[in-house]
Structure 1
Amino acid sequence: MFSPPMTGANRTLQLLQHVREREARLLELERRFSSDAAHELRTPLAGLRARIEVALADPDGSDPWQTLREALVDADRLQAIVDDLLLLDRLDRGEPRSEERVDLPDLVRSALNGSVMRVPVSTAIRPGTVMGDHPLLVRLLSNLISNAQRHAETRVTIVVQVRNGQAVVEVRDDGTGIPPEDRERVFARFARLDPARSRDSGGTGLGLSIARQIAIAHRGSLSLEEPPGGRGARMVLRLPLAAEEPEISH
């Protein structure tokens, strides 16, 4: 069947249609994100209000110090969510960041030092260097370690390899794992495959979203891939290796 050649006007209309569809998708994502953010902020705010109202209604029957401690937990959760939202906003807008040589073994040590360990961590780390913002990369890896610690049964494993011009960092756990059809969903903002699990464990629901955005900002990628033996979860971070520093002649 003969198809008439596409004219310049048709190409322009097609381009405009693609732009409109893209804008509609972005608006829907923004609307959904705003709705989810409002819901997540409302939960600790409601808890904070309820504790204060109970204490005011029965001042003799409540322990003021316990009320303050519980209120502080809710306030800390609110602060964590707001801080994560602001970081995501900066990453989305592509704000300038520092660019320095980051040693991979040092990066893993920094992330481990700042993480709470519920189960042991084993490491197999090859030396290598990437370019990037050291604090942001520590945050990325810390988020992956914290996520693995929450879901591991007995152990977390960190493997760092260098191949094909990339640093490949794997963070594995031996928990129940994630079904293949849900492996992309875990990176959505405020995603909860188990609605109660992240809130009960103190997470904001933004950790993996932040980790992926940091990876993208460093010209890298972050994915959830099939674990060895099919058990647990395996987060794989890929970052371009830094160019070798030129030798200084004397």
Structure 2
Amino acid sequence: MVYAAEQRPPLLVGHTLEGVLTAFCLVLLGLVGWGTWWLVGRALEPVRQMRAEMAEIAASGLSHRIAVPASGSELNTLIESINRTLDRLEHAREMERRFASDASHELRTPLTGLRTKLELALADPEAEDSALAMRSALKDAERLQAVIDDLLTLARLDAGARPEPRRVDLAELVTGEMEQRPSRHEVLMRLHPGVVVRGDRLQLSRVLTNLLANAERHAAGMIEVNVCQNGDDAVLEVVDNGQGVPEADRERIFQRFTRLDTARSREAGGTGLGLSIAREIATAHGGRLYATDRPRGEGARFVLRLPLSGDVETPPGGTGDAHRLGKPGRARRG
């Protein structure tokens, strides 16, 4: 018996509903996929441009920079960081190129002189005193060895070699160095006792030696060496009464192979690396080395500041002992 009946909707007849739902889902998924692809592509468009510009930089050189878009997106900070990194890389590459050029020139000069002297001596052995020729050749060999030694020192410092630090009394360091080092100028020492730092004694002695050698080349007759405490810093000063260093060149002189008076420095045996090595050692010991004005009169003043050793009680300031060394070397108390 059939009490009531109603005709079934057409969508429910057969597989019509399944087909319609499947087609709708496929269209919807297609629209969602296309929209996602379009949005992601638009969002990654700056990255694609960055990749293209980085490829251009790799092909053309480090002088090119990535353009910063005006949209103010979050990628702007990344692009600016990349550009700053490229600036540092370009600067490092330029410094490396200049250093290689200067080093090859500094090595070629004594080698050329040495070879010329030997060739002349062999060509005409009786033209001049053989001992004189050998002494002249020895000077070139010594200069060549000095350049190589300085280059090796810089290479070790650049590689980050750090020996175990020990307690070093700066006044004792200066006194010991001056007793072994003759000077053609009068040397006045003002040394405060008990100014102790932690570091490598040989490297700190190298800093002092390089500063004294620089002062010897440019002093007019007087060199001062001062050691004192200033706050939490130990201060070592080397002062000369020469022509001084112009303010515009006070950072440039710490660059490698930089000379303000090339002929004079080369004649005196300078390699152009002494101040660079001294600053590298100061930085490795947590300090700094800089050039400044002389307190009175003309001249150069180089200041080395190092952190005081924390395990030593440094006596409060005092005048310290002043010693004056004549030419060369009998000491008398000032």
| Same-fold call, TM cutoff 0.5 | yes
Q: Does 1:220 align with 2:287?
A: yes
Which blocks of at least 5 consecutive residues in structure 2 are unaligned? 1-69, 314-334
TM-score under structure 1 normalisation?
Answer: 0.92
Query: Contact 1:222–1:237 (CA<8 Å) still a contact in 2?
Result: yes
1:74-223 pair list within 5 angstroms:
74-127=140-193, 128-223=195-290
Contact 1:221 1:237 in 2 (8 A): yes
Structure 2 partner of 1:34: 100
Q: What letter is aligned with 2:230?
A: R
Q: Is the Cα contact below 8 Å between 2:258 and 2:272 reproduced in 1?
A: yes
**Alignment TM-score, normalising by the size of structure 2:** 0.70
CA apart distance, 1:165? 0.4
Aligned partner of residue 188 in structure 2, secondary structure? strand
Higher mean displacement: 211-220 or 51-60? 51-60
In the TM superposition, what is the alpha-carbon distance from 1:10 to its structure 2 partner?
2.4
For 1:112, the aligned partner's letter is M
Q: Which moved more, 1:186-195 or 1:35-44?
A: 186-195
Aligned-residue CA RMSD (Å) = 1.6
Task: Please name the residue that 1:234 is paired with.
Answer: 301
SS at match of 1:236: strand
Distance 2:287 2:231 in 1: 13
What is the CA distance between 1:5 and its match in structure 2? 5.0
Is the CA contact (8 Å cut-off) linking 1:111 and 1:139 kept in structure 2?
Answer: no
Confirm or deny: 8 A CA contact 1:170 1:235 kept in the other structure: yes
Q: Is the 8 A contact 2:196 2:312 kept in 1?
A: no
CA distance in 1, matches of 2:73, 2:247: 41
Q: Deviations over 1:22-69 (max 9, x none)?
A: 111100000001100111111110110100111121123232222222
User: 1:59 corresponds to which residue?
Assistant: 125
Q: 8 Å contact 1:115–1:145 — kept in the other structure?
A: no
Deviations 1:62-117 (A, max 9, x none): 32222222111111110110000000111112112121000111111133234330
Question: Is contact 2:220–2:242 with CA below 8 Å preserved after alignment?
Answer: yes
In the TM superposition, what is the alpha-carbon distance from 1:135 to its structure 2 partner?
0.4
Deviation at 1:129, TM superposition (A): 0.4
Map of 2:135 onto structure 1: 69
1:147 deviation in Å?
A: 1.0
What is the Cα deviation at residue 143 of structure 1? Answer: 0.9
Identity of counterpart residues, as a percentage? 49
Partners in 2 of 1:22 and 1:50 — Cα distance? 42
Partners of 1:100 and 1:161 lie apart in 2 by 19
Q: For the residues of structure 2 that align with 1:245 and 1:202, how far apart are their CA atoms? A: 39
SS at structure 2 position matched to 1:81: helix
Residue 192 of structure 1, CA deviation: 1.2
Tell me how many residue pairs correspond in the alignment. 243
Does structure 2 conserve the Cα–Cα contact (< 8 Å) formed by 1:114 and 1:142?
no
Q: Which amino acid aligns with 2:269?
A: G
Partner SS, residue 256 of structure 2? coil
Report if aligned partners of 1:178, 1:233 keep a CA contact under 8 Å in 2.
yes
Q: Distance between the aligned counterparts of 2:82 and 2:291, measured in 1?
A: 35
Instruction: Provide closer, same or farther for how the CA distance between residues 245 and 129 of structure 1 changes in structure 2, counting only shifts above 3 A.
Output: closer
- The answer on 1:10 being equivalent to 2:76 is yes
AA in 2 matched with 1:41: L
1:230 is displaced (CA, Å) by 4.2
Give the SS at the match of 2:296. helix
